Amino acid sequence: MPRARRSRAVDGSLLRRLLRVPLPALLITDPTGRLLDANDTFLRLTGLTREAVEAGQVRWDALAAPETPSAGAQAVDALRRLGTAGPLETEYVRTDGIRVPVMLAALGLEGPERTLVLVQDLTPRRRAEEALRFLSDASRELAEVRAEPDAILAGVAHLAASSVATWCLVDLLEEDGTFRRVAAAHRDPEREALLRDAPRYSASLEAGSALFQALARGESRLYPDFLPEHLEQMTRSPEQLAQLEKLKALSVMLIPMRSRGQAVGLFTFASCDAGRRYGPEDLEMVEELSRRVVAAVDNARLYHEAEEAVRLRDEFLGIASHELKTPLTPLRLKLQAMQRQASEAMVGGTPLSAERVSDSLDVALRQVRKLTDLVDNLLDVSRISAGRLRLELEEVDLSSVAAELLSRFAPSAEKLGCALELHAPEPVFGRWDRLRVEQVVTNLLSNALKYGAGRPVVVRVEEDGERARLTVEDQGIGIAEEDLGRIFERFERAVSDRHYGGLGLGLYITRQIVEAFGGTVRVTSSPGNGSTFTLELPRGQLPIIPSIG
């Protein structure tokens, strides 16, 4: 008996020492489940105080979540039958209400008197599994290249808000330095409207901010505990501060999106769950997500650009075929008529008069010129795309070019009932390629006559210091505001090609030529009020003409 008592005393001393060593969570209970002792790891895990344990105020089964008490009962039953129990998975509820997934294993000590329980915190494992599921689901979302880039980002944000975050924002960086919010997802649908109104970041306004400088360099920011001073760094006014406070973020990650070394956007992940504090492993996971998202968005953008290019090509081929047939049809008919008349004259019919031949040739030549212009436009587009647009610079008088072209367009304008006016009181010289300047002004005059509804077209030429300015003003159908930017793009038009012919290349070629000179071309217009195209060209280095006298 004395030997047995000494063994128990040593065993008890060893257990007490073991409980003081920083090991996984350990506790000792009596047969009723009352805690007799526990190590610091267990106390931190559950939020219990040592005083509560030593006072005998805590029972083992009382720690389990209300809906999962069976693990404790299973462990007690196994201990009674086998002397050991586990491993069993359950959830503990901390004293602050936070749930902690755990795994239990128990060993009976000295018969039924005491039980040693080992508790492993499964939170890291559960988070790793959650992160893997999230990345897997996100990868499936990202694999859909047919989706629009904004739709892909919105899908990822909603996936995040249903798993690794309470709410998630996705902002894309625009060329003007502002952020455009493309996604705002909240786990609580009723709070999503509040999230959509959250302050938008502004890289241009925050250029001096250390936070935004870091983000621009591609450095993420992790705030395990999102404090008031962090919140102030992300807002620029008391109103914005109040808005962001309403979202109750407790832990935040800011992850920049970068493509080809440039910042293109920003992810904001936020947790409002006291039991969900972000750590380095979460940041690593979301940075990997950011890389995948950027690659997927780039792929989707390339896919849609290629799809749009194919659409434009098909549309262009249809328009080009129609436009090429337009002059070919009357040309063919006129030549067939001339051939028939010549054949009839050869077998004794009425000889062809010089007047009739001249008229027929005029018609044929007009159609040939149209074909030539169409082919020249196509060649110009090819040269521009290949970067082979050459300029032969010489001294050119823009006023003289305008006067000559108005004279050339006079017959066409007269047929349309359109008066042409030129206001060019003085020569305006510059170093340009005369043929290309003529091409630009021709395109602007052609447009004015085509869409001018038979009303007057006014051309003005003036000198403005080191620049020359030419404006072409019509009083025609005008252009809608949403079309003003795109009419200078390739194959674009602001009207239906069924009512107005053309390849949609004239203004595109015009802009490319003007920009090659270092100039600009712009338009102001509104539907029904006509259009004014303004061309500005740098005059370049002109030769100095010595004065006489």
**How confident is the model at residue 29, as a pLDDT?**
83
**How confident is the model at residue 400, as a pLDDT?**
94
- Among 258-262, 355-359, 398-402, whose mean pLDDT is lowest? 355-359
Q: What is the DSSP string of 70-133?
A: HHHHHHHHHHHHHSEEEEEEEEEE-TTS-EEEEEEEEEEETTTTEEEEEEEE-HHHHHHHHHHH
Round to whole Å and give the CA distance between 321 and 158. 47
* pTM, entire model: 0.51
What is the gyration radius of the CA atoms in the chain, in angstroms?
Answer: 40
256: pLDDT strictly greater than 50? yes
| Cα–Cα distances in angstroms (integers) from residue 62 to residues 66, 68, 114, 410, 484, in the given order | 8, 11, 18, 99, 71
- Among 17-21, 26-30, 227-231, 357-361, whose mean pLDDT is lowest? 17-21
Who wins on pLDDT, 171 or 243?
171
**How confident is the model at residue 148, as a pLDDT?**
76
**How confident is the model at residue 368, as a pLDDT?**
73
**How confident is the model at residue 388, as a pLDDT?**
60
Round to whole Å and give the CA distance between 418 and 414. 6
**How confident is the model at residue 5, as a pLDDT?**
39
**How confident is the model at residue 12, as a pLDDT?**
55
End-to-end CA gap in the chain? 139
4: pLDDT strictly greater than 50? no
Mean local confidence (pLDDT), 31-51: 85
Tell me the pLDDT tens digit for each residue of 65-98: 777 766 666 666 666 666 677 677 888 888 888 8
Give the model's confidence band at 457: pLDDT under 50 very low, under 70 low, under 90 confident, else very high: very high
Residues 6 or more apart whose Cβ sits within 8 Å of residue 435: 392
Tell me the pLDDT tens digit for each residue of 396-429: 999 999 999 999 889 888 888 889 999 999 999 9
Q: In what order do the strands lie in the sheet with 221-223?
A: 179-186, 167-173, 262-271, 251-259, 221-223
Residues 6 or more apart whose Cβ sits within 8 Å of residue 512: 380, 384, 389
- Average pLDDT of the chain is 76
Q: Report which of 110, 103, 16, 14 is spatially closest to residue 64, judged by C-alpha positions.
A: 103
Dihedral angle over CA of 14, 17, 21, 25, nearest 10: 70
27: pLDDT strictly greater than 60? yes
Contact between 235 and 244 (Cβ < 8 Å):
yes
**How confident is the model at residue 23, as a pLDDT?**
60
Three-state DSSP class for 205?
coil
386: pLDDT strictly greater than 60? no
546: pLDDT strictly greater than 60? no
**How confident is the model at residue 83, as a pLDDT?**
63
**How confident is the model at residue 350, as a pLDDT?**
67
Which amino acid appears at position 266 of this protein? L
Tell me the pLDDT tens digit for each residue of 507-543: 888 888 888 889 999 999 888 888 999 999 999 765 4
143: pLDDT strictly greater than 70? no
Contact between 179 and 171 (Cβ < 8 Å):
yes
Round to whole Å and give the CA distance between 309 and 307. 5
**How confident is the model at residue 395, as a pLDDT?**
93
- Max mean pLDDT among 266-275, 354-363, 383-392 falls in 266-275
Who wins on pLDDT, 215 or 157?
157
Tell me the torsion sign for CA atoms 22, 25, 30, 35: positive
Q: Report which of 64, 270, 52, 69 is spatially closest to residue 160, judged by C-alpha positions.
A: 270
306: pLDDT strictly greater than 50? yes
Tell me the pLDDT tens digit for each residue of 151-179: 888 888 888 888 888 888 888 877 777 77
**How confident is the model at residue 20, as a pLDDT?**
55
In this structure, what are the phi and psi dihedrals at residue 510, rounded to the nearest 5 degrees? -55, -50
24: pLDDT strictly greater than 70? yes
Mean local confidence (pLDDT), 207-231: 73
Residue 189: count other Cβ atoms within 10 Å of its Cβ. 9
- Among 238-242, 391-395, 444-448, whose mean pLDDT is lowest? 238-242
Contact between 487 and 507 (Cβ < 8 Å):
yes
**In terms of C-beta density within 10 A (0-12 exposed, 13-18 middle, 19 or more buried), how is residue 253 classed?**
buried
205: pLDDT strictly greater than 50? no
- Among 118-132, 260-274, 346-360, 434-448, whose mean pLDDT is lowest? 346-360
CA 365 to chain centroid: 50
Which amino acid appears at position 218 of this protein? G
Q: Report which of 546, 544, 540, 543 is spatially closest to residue 465, judged by C-alpha positions.
A: 540
393: pLDDT strictly greater than 50? yes
**How confident is the model at residue 2, as a pLDDT?**
41
> Which tokens hold the place of 148?
């629009």
Who wins on pLDDT, 210 or 262?
262
Round to whole Å and give the CA distance between 375 and 369. 10
Round to whole Å and give the CA distance between 46 and 24. 13
Residue 3: count other Cβ atoms within 10 Å of its Cβ. 7
DSSP state of 255: E
**How confident is the model at residue 462, as a pLDDT?**
94
